[in-house]
Protein backbone atom coordinates (compact mmCIF):
# COMPACT_ATOMS: atom_id res chain seq x y z
CA UNK A 1 0.00 0.00 0.00
CA UNK A 2 1.21 3.50 -0.84
CA UNK A 3 -0.30 6.50 0.98
CA UNK A 4 0.39 10.16 1.75
CA UNK A 5 0.49 11.37 5.36
CA UNK A 6 0.53 15.04 6.36
CA UNK A 7 2.67 15.57 9.45
CA UNK A 8 1.77 18.57 11.63
CA UNK A 9 4.08 18.41 14.64
CA UNK A 10 2.93 21.70 16.14
CA UNK A 11 4.09 23.09 19.47
CA UNK A 12 5.62 22.03 22.79
CA UNK A 13 6.15 18.29 23.02
CA UNK A 14 4.29 17.81 19.75
CA UNK A 15 7.45 17.39 17.64
CA UNK A 16 9.03 14.96 20.12
CA UNK A 17 6.10 12.57 20.42
CA UNK A 18 5.25 12.80 16.73
CA UNK A 19 8.81 11.78 15.87
CA UNK A 20 8.30 8.58 17.85
CA UNK A 21 5.02 7.86 16.05
CA UNK A 22 6.87 8.35 12.75
CA UNK A 23 9.51 5.84 13.86
CA UNK A 24 6.79 3.29 14.44
CA UNK A 25 5.08 4.03 11.11
CA UNK A 26 8.41 3.55 9.33
CA UNK A 27 8.79 0.24 11.18
CA UNK A 28 5.36 -0.74 9.83
CA UNK A 29 6.54 0.12 6.32
CA UNK A 30 9.54 -2.19 6.67
CA UNK A 31 7.70 -5.04 8.37
CA UNK A 32 4.59 -5.08 6.20
CA UNK A 33 5.83 -3.80 2.84
CA UNK A 34 4.00 -0.47 2.68
CA UNK A 35 5.18 2.93 1.48
CA UNK A 36 4.08 6.10 3.23
CA UNK A 37 5.03 9.55 1.96
CA UNK A 38 5.32 12.15 4.74
CA UNK A 39 4.90 15.90 4.19
CA UNK A 40 5.50 18.26 7.10
CA UNK A 41 3.59 21.53 7.52
CA UNK A 42 3.27 24.24 10.18
CA UNK A 43 0.39 24.71 12.59
CA UNK A 44 -0.12 26.51 15.90
CA UNK A 45 2.35 28.86 17.58
CA UNK A 46 5.20 27.86 15.26
CA UNK A 47 2.99 28.79 12.30
CA UNK A 48 2.13 32.17 13.86
CA UNK A 49 5.82 32.87 14.41
CA UNK A 50 6.64 31.98 10.81
CA UNK A 51 3.62 33.33 8.93
CA UNK A 52 1.34 35.20 11.33
CA UNK A 53 -1.36 32.57 10.76
CA UNK A 54 -1.89 29.53 13.04
CA UNK A 55 -3.24 27.50 10.11
CA UNK A 56 -1.64 28.80 6.90
CA UNK A 57 -3.05 28.15 3.43
CA UNK A 58 0.01 26.04 2.63
CA UNK A 59 -0.80 23.71 5.54
CA UNK A 60 -4.41 23.38 4.42
CA UNK A 61 -3.20 22.42 0.93
CA UNK A 62 -0.88 19.74 2.32
CA UNK A 63 -3.75 18.31 4.38
CA UNK A 64 -6.16 18.28 1.45
CA UNK A 65 -3.64 16.47 -0.73
CA UNK A 66 -2.95 13.77 1.88
CA UNK A 67 -4.73 10.53 2.78
CA UNK A 68 -4.46 11.15 6.55
CA UNK A 69 -3.03 13.66 9.01
CA UNK A 70 -0.74 12.90 11.95
CA UNK A 71 -0.92 15.82 14.38
CA UNK A 72 1.15 16.62 17.47
CA UNK A 73 -0.12 19.45 19.68
CA UNK A 74 -0.99 23.14 19.71
CA UNK A 75 -0.33 25.82 22.33
CA UNK A 76 2.38 28.06 23.75
CA UNK A 77 2.61 30.09 27.01
CA UNK A 78 3.49 33.34 25.25
CA UNK A 79 0.00 33.30 23.73
CA UNK A 80 -1.81 31.57 26.62
CA UNK A 81 -0.53 34.18 29.07
CA UNK A 82 -1.39 37.17 26.89
CA UNK A 83 -5.12 37.96 27.18
CA UNK A 84 -4.77 40.67 24.53
CA UNK A 85 -3.28 38.39 21.88
CA UNK A 86 -5.44 38.74 18.77
CA UNK A 87 -4.10 35.58 17.12
CA UNK A 88 -3.82 32.38 19.15
CA UNK A 89 -2.56 28.89 18.31
CA UNK A 90 -5.92 27.31 19.20
CA UNK A 91 -7.58 29.35 16.45
CA UNK A 92 -5.56 27.24 14.04
CA UNK A 93 -7.11 24.07 15.43
CA UNK A 94 -10.65 25.41 15.11
CA UNK A 95 -9.90 26.66 11.58
CA UNK A 96 -8.50 23.26 10.63
CA UNK A 97 -11.59 21.46 11.92
CA UNK A 98 -13.86 23.74 9.93
CA UNK A 99 -11.80 23.72 6.72
CA UNK A 100 -11.47 19.92 6.70
CA UNK A 101 -15.00 19.21 7.92
CA UNK A 102 -13.73 17.33 10.99
CA UNK A 103 -17.09 17.02 12.69
CA UNK A 104 -16.47 14.00 14.93
CA UNK A 105 -13.79 13.54 17.56
CA UNK A 106 -13.34 9.91 18.61
CA UNK A 107 -11.50 9.24 21.87
CA UNK A 108 -11.06 5.68 23.12
CA UNK A 109 -10.43 5.25 26.85
CA UNK A 110 -8.69 2.01 27.79
CA UNK A 111 -6.92 0.92 30.94
CA UNK A 112 -3.85 -1.30 31.22
CA UNK A 113 -3.14 -3.70 34.07
CA UNK A 114 0.47 -2.54 34.27
CA UNK A 115 -0.75 1.03 34.93
CA UNK A 116 -3.48 0.31 37.48
CA UNK A 117 -1.39 1.69 40.34
CA UNK A 118 -0.74 4.89 38.37
CA UNK A 119 -4.46 5.66 38.10
CA UNK A 120 -5.90 8.11 40.66
CA UNK A 121 -8.83 5.68 41.00
CA UNK A 122 -8.80 2.41 42.96
CA UNK A 123 -7.50 -0.54 40.98
CA UNK A 124 -10.86 -2.34 41.16
CA UNK A 125 -12.58 0.64 39.50
CA UNK A 126 -10.25 0.83 36.51
CA UNK A 127 -10.18 -2.86 35.64
CA UNK A 128 -11.58 -3.65 32.19
CA UNK A 129 -12.42 -0.05 31.33
CA UNK A 130 -12.97 0.18 27.58
CA UNK A 131 -15.19 2.91 26.20
CA UNK A 132 -15.09 5.46 23.41
CA UNK A 133 -16.41 9.01 23.32
CA UNK A 134 -17.90 10.47 20.15
CA UNK A 135 -17.73 14.25 20.56
CA UNK A 136 -19.33 16.57 17.99
CA UNK A 137 -16.54 18.89 16.94
CA UNK A 138 -17.68 21.72 14.67
CA UNK A 139 -20.89 23.00 16.25
CA UNK A 140 -22.13 24.18 19.61
CA UNK A 141 -20.91 27.00 21.81
CA UNK A 142 -17.37 27.01 20.38
CA UNK A 143 -18.66 28.04 16.98
CA UNK A 144 -21.83 29.98 17.85
CA UNK A 145 -22.32 33.74 17.87
CA UNK A 146 -20.44 35.52 20.64
CA UNK A 147 -19.67 39.02 21.78
CA UNK A 148 -19.53 41.64 24.50
CA UNK A 149 -21.48 44.77 25.22
CA UNK A 150 -19.92 48.13 24.37
CA UNK A 151 -19.18 48.84 28.03
CA UNK A 152 -17.58 45.40 28.44
CA UNK A 153 -19.82 44.41 31.33
CA UNK A 154 -21.83 41.76 29.50
CA UNK A 155 -20.74 38.87 27.29
CA UNK A 156 -22.53 36.05 25.51
CA UNK A 157 -21.71 32.76 23.76
CA UNK A 158 -24.43 31.00 21.78
CA UNK A 159 -24.80 27.22 21.55
CA UNK A 160 -26.38 26.31 18.23
CA UNK A 161 -27.01 22.88 16.68
CA UNK A 162 -28.87 21.61 13.63
CA UNK A 163 -30.57 18.27 13.12
CA UNK A 164 -28.05 17.34 10.42
CA UNK A 165 -25.06 18.04 12.69
CA UNK A 166 -26.52 15.72 15.31
CA UNK A 167 -27.46 12.97 12.85
CA UNK A 168 -24.07 12.63 11.17
CA UNK A 169 -22.17 11.98 14.41
CA UNK A 170 -24.98 9.83 15.82
CA UNK A 171 -24.58 7.53 12.82
CA UNK A 172 -20.89 7.03 13.61
CA UNK A 173 -21.57 6.38 17.29
CA UNK A 174 -24.26 3.76 16.69
CA UNK A 175 -22.22 2.03 14.00
CA UNK A 176 -19.33 1.82 16.46
CA UNK A 177 -21.60 0.41 19.18
CA UNK A 178 -22.64 -2.44 16.89
CA UNK A 179 -18.99 -3.46 16.63
CA UNK A 180 -18.54 -3.20 20.41
CA UNK A 181 -21.08 -3.97 23.16
CA UNK A 182 -24.23 -2.46 21.61
CA UNK A 183 -24.63 0.32 24.17
CA UNK A 184 -24.81 4.07 23.50
CA UNK A 185 -25.11 6.71 26.24
CA UNK A 186 -26.18 10.18 25.13
CA UNK A 187 -24.72 12.79 27.48
CA UNK A 188 -26.61 16.09 27.51
CA UNK A 189 -28.28 18.68 29.75
CA UNK A 190 -31.82 18.31 28.45
CA UNK A 191 -33.37 19.42 31.73
CA UNK A 192 -31.98 22.94 31.14
CA UNK A 193 -30.81 23.50 27.55
CA UNK A 194 -32.96 23.71 24.42
CA UNK A 195 -30.04 22.52 22.31
CA UNK A 196 -29.78 19.39 24.47
CA UNK A 197 -33.48 18.73 24.06
CA UNK A 198 -32.98 18.79 20.29
CA UNK A 199 -30.10 16.32 20.67
CA UNK A 200 -32.25 13.96 22.71
CA UNK A 201 -35.17 14.20 20.29
CA UNK A 202 -33.06 13.57 17.18
CA UNK A 203 -31.04 10.73 18.72
CA UNK A 204 -34.16 8.94 20.00
CA UNK A 205 -35.79 9.12 16.57
CA UNK A 206 -32.65 7.98 14.78
CA UNK A 207 -32.10 5.11 17.19
CA UNK A 208 -35.68 3.84 16.89
CA UNK A 209 -35.60 3.95 13.08
CA UNK A 210 -32.14 2.54 12.45
CA UNK A 211 -30.55 0.85 15.47
CA UNK A 212 -33.29 -0.67 17.66
CA UNK A 213 -30.92 -3.54 18.53
CA UNK A 214 -28.53 -1.13 20.28
CA UNK A 215 -29.28 -0.15 23.88
CA UNK A 216 -29.66 3.62 24.22
CA UNK A 217 -29.72 5.47 27.51
CA UNK A 218 -29.46 9.12 28.53
CA UNK A 219 -27.40 10.85 31.18
CA UNK A 220 -27.12 14.49 32.22
CA UNK A 221 -23.55 15.69 31.90
CA UNK A 222 -23.11 16.34 35.62
CA UNK A 223 -24.23 12.79 36.39
CA UNK A 224 -21.97 11.44 33.65
CA UNK A 225 -19.01 13.28 35.16
CA UNK A 226 -19.62 11.47 38.44
CA UNK A 227 -20.30 8.11 36.79
CA UNK A 228 -16.98 8.23 34.88
CA UNK A 229 -15.23 8.31 38.28
CA UNK A 230 -17.56 5.99 40.19
CA UNK A 231 -18.09 3.30 37.54
CA UNK A 232 -16.11 3.92 34.33
CA UNK A 233 -16.58 0.33 33.15
CA UNK A 234 -20.32 1.08 32.76
CA UNK A 235 -19.76 2.98 29.51
CA UNK A 236 -19.37 1.55 26.03
CA UNK A 237 -20.04 4.35 23.50
CA UNK A 238 -20.63 7.89 24.75
CA UNK A 239 -22.24 10.37 22.35
CA UNK A 240 -22.23 14.07 23.19
CA UNK A 241 -21.96 17.67 21.99
CA UNK A 242 -18.83 19.77 21.66
CA UNK A 243 -18.27 21.42 25.05
CA UNK A 244 -19.53 18.51 27.16
CA UNK A 245 -17.29 16.21 25.14
CA UNK A 246 -14.30 18.46 25.65
CA UNK A 247 -14.72 18.33 29.42
CA UNK A 248 -15.59 14.66 29.99
CA UNK A 249 -12.87 13.36 27.66
CA UNK A 250 -10.25 15.27 29.65
CA UNK A 251 -11.75 13.87 32.84
CA UNK A 252 -11.71 10.35 31.41
CA UNK A 253 -8.13 10.73 30.24
CA UNK A 254 -6.72 10.50 33.77
CA UNK A 255 -8.34 7.13 34.46
CA UNK A 256 -5.73 5.21 32.50
CA UNK A 257 -2.92 6.51 34.74
CA UNK A 258 -1.37 8.93 32.26
CA UNK A 259 -2.80 11.46 29.87
CA UNK A 260 0.10 10.51 27.61
CA UNK A 261 -1.47 7.13 26.85
CA UNK A 262 -4.57 8.21 24.95
CA UNK A 263 -4.97 8.65 21.19
CA UNK A 264 -7.78 10.30 19.28
CA UNK A 265 -9.19 10.68 15.80
CA UNK A 266 -11.07 13.56 14.22
CA UNK A 267 -13.00 12.45 11.15
CA UNK A 268 -15.18 14.20 8.62
CA UNK A 269 -15.81 14.78 4.96
CA UNK A 270 -12.29 15.36 3.57
CA UNK A 271 -9.45 13.69 5.44
CA UNK A 272 -9.11 12.36 9.00
CA UNK A 273 -6.71 13.70 11.63
CA UNK A 274 -5.08 11.68 14.41
CA UNK A 275 -3.50 13.10 17.56
CA UNK A 276 -2.67 12.33 21.19
CA UNK A 277 -5.00 14.09 23.60
CA UNK A 278 -2.40 15.47 26.01
CA UNK A 279 -1.80 18.95 24.59
CA UNK A 280 1.49 20.73 24.09
CA UNK A 281 2.88 20.46 27.69
CA UNK A 282 5.37 23.30 27.12
CA UNK A 283 7.08 22.68 30.47
CA UNK A 284 8.31 19.33 29.19
CA UNK A 285 9.30 20.46 25.70
CA UNK A 286 12.86 19.59 24.74
CA UNK A 287 13.48 17.48 27.86
CA UNK A 288 12.87 14.08 26.22
CA UNK A 289 10.51 13.07 29.03
CA UNK A 290 7.06 13.09 27.39
CA UNK A 291 5.10 9.86 27.04
CA UNK A 292 4.89 9.16 23.28
CA UNK A 293 2.43 6.28 23.51
CA UNK A 294 -0.61 8.49 22.85
CA UNK A 295 0.99 9.65 19.60
CA UNK A 296 2.05 6.10 18.71
CA UNK A 297 -1.45 4.77 19.36
CA UNK A 298 -2.83 7.66 17.28
CA UNK A 299 -0.71 6.31 14.42
CA UNK A 300 -2.37 2.93 14.99
CA UNK A 301 -5.79 4.58 14.74
CA UNK A 302 -4.65 6.26 11.52
CA UNK A 303 -3.68 2.94 9.94
CA UNK A 304 -6.91 1.29 11.03
CA UNK A 305 -9.40 4.09 10.35
CA UNK A 306 -8.01 5.75 7.22
CA UNK A 307 -6.11 2.90 5.55
CA UNK A 308 -7.95 -0.21 6.76
CA UNK A 309 -4.70 -1.79 7.97
CA UNK A 310 -6.12 -3.73 10.92
CA UNK A 311 -3.23 -6.16 11.39
CA UNK A 312 -0.67 -3.36 11.37
CA UNK A 313 -2.69 -1.31 13.87
CA UNK A 314 -3.03 -4.33 16.15
CA UNK A 315 0.73 -4.89 15.97
CA UNK A 316 1.36 -1.33 17.18
CA UNK A 317 -1.07 -1.68 20.07
CA UNK A 318 0.45 -4.98 21.14
CA UNK A 319 3.93 -3.47 20.90
CA UNK A 320 2.92 -0.59 23.19
CA UNK A 321 1.52 -3.04 25.74
CA UNK A 322 4.56 -5.30 25.46
CA UNK A 323 6.91 -2.37 25.98
CA UNK A 324 5.07 -1.39 29.17
CA UNK A 325 5.08 -4.99 30.41
CA UNK A 326 8.83 -5.05 29.76
CA UNK A 327 9.19 -1.99 32.00
CA UNK A 328 9.77 0.64 29.32
CA UNK A 329 7.97 3.54 31.00
CA UNK A 330 8.31 7.33 30.98
CA UNK A 331 8.44 9.52 34.08
CA UNK A 332 4.70 10.22 34.15
CA UNK A 333 4.19 6.54 34.95
CA UNK A 334 7.38 5.62 36.82
CA UNK A 335 9.24 8.24 38.83
CA UNK A 336 12.36 6.16 39.51
CA UNK A 337 14.70 5.39 36.62
CA UNK A 338 12.20 6.32 33.89
CA UNK A 339 12.82 5.79 30.21
CA UNK A 340 13.06 8.74 27.83
CA UNK A 341 10.65 9.62 25.05
CA UNK A 342 13.07 8.35 22.43
CA UNK A 343 13.80 5.12 24.32
CA UNK A 344 10.09 4.27 24.34
CA UNK A 345 9.77 5.08 20.63
CA UNK A 346 12.84 3.01 19.75
CA UNK A 347 11.62 0.02 21.77
CA UNK A 348 8.11 0.01 20.30
CA UNK A 349 9.43 0.50 16.76
CA UNK A 350 11.85 -2.42 17.20
CA UNK A 351 9.02 -4.69 18.36
CA UNK A 352 6.88 -3.71 15.38
CA UNK A 353 9.69 -4.11 12.86
CA UNK A 354 10.56 -7.56 14.18
CA UNK A 355 6.89 -8.60 13.85
CA UNK A 356 7.30 -10.39 17.16
CA UNK A 357 3.99 -8.94 18.34
CA UNK A 358 1.93 -9.92 15.28
CA UNK A 359 1.27 -13.48 16.35
CA UNK A 360 1.47 -12.76 20.09
Domains of the chain by residue range: 1-102+269-360, 130-254
Is 222 catalytic? The answer is yes
From 142, 161, 206, 347, active-site residue:
142
Helix axes 293-307, 341-354, angle to 10 degrees: 40
Q: Is 281 exposed, middle or buried (0-12, 13-18, 19+ CB in 10 A)?
A: buried
Nearest-angstrom CA–CA distance, 206 and 271: 26
pLDDT tens column, 278-320: 889 999 999 999 999 999 999 999 999 999 999 999 999 999 9
From 250, 314, 350, 355, active-site residue:
250
Residue 117 has pLDDT above 90, yes or no: no
Is 189 catalytic? The answer is yes
Is 4 catalytic? The answer is no
CATH for 1-102+269-360, among 3.40.50.300, 3.30.230.10, 3.40.50.1820, 3.40.718.10?
Answer: 3.40.718.10
From 79, 189, 346, 347, active-site residue:
189
Residue 94 has pLDDT above 90, yes or no: no
From 130, 246, 314, 350, active-site residue:
246
Is 112 catalytic? The answer is no
Domain 130-254 bears CATH identifier 3.40.718.10 = yes
Q: CB neighbours of 154 closer than 8 A, spacing ≥ 6?
A: 148
Average pLDDT over residues 342-347: 98
pLDDT tens column, 216-245: 999 999 999 999 999 999 999 999 999 999
The angle at the Cα of 35, spanning 31 to 40, to the nearest 5 degrees, equals: 120
pLDDT tens column, 156-173: 999 999 999 999 999 999
Is 250 catalytic? The answer is yes
Nearest-angstrom CA–CA distance, 332 and 83: 30
Average pLDDT over residues 338-355: 96
> Is the alpha carbon torsion for 95, 92, 140, 175 positive or negative?
positive
pTM for the whole thing? 0.90
Amino acid sequence: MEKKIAVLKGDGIGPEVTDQALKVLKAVEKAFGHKFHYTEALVGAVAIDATGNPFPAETLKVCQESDAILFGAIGHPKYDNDPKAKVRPEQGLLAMRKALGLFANIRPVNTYKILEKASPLRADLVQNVDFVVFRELTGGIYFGARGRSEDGNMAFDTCTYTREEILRISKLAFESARLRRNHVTLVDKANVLASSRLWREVVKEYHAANFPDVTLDFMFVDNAAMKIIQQPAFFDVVLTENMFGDIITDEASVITGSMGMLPSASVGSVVALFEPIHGSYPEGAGLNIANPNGAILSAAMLLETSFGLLTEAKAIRRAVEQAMEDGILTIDVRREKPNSTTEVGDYVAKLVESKAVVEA
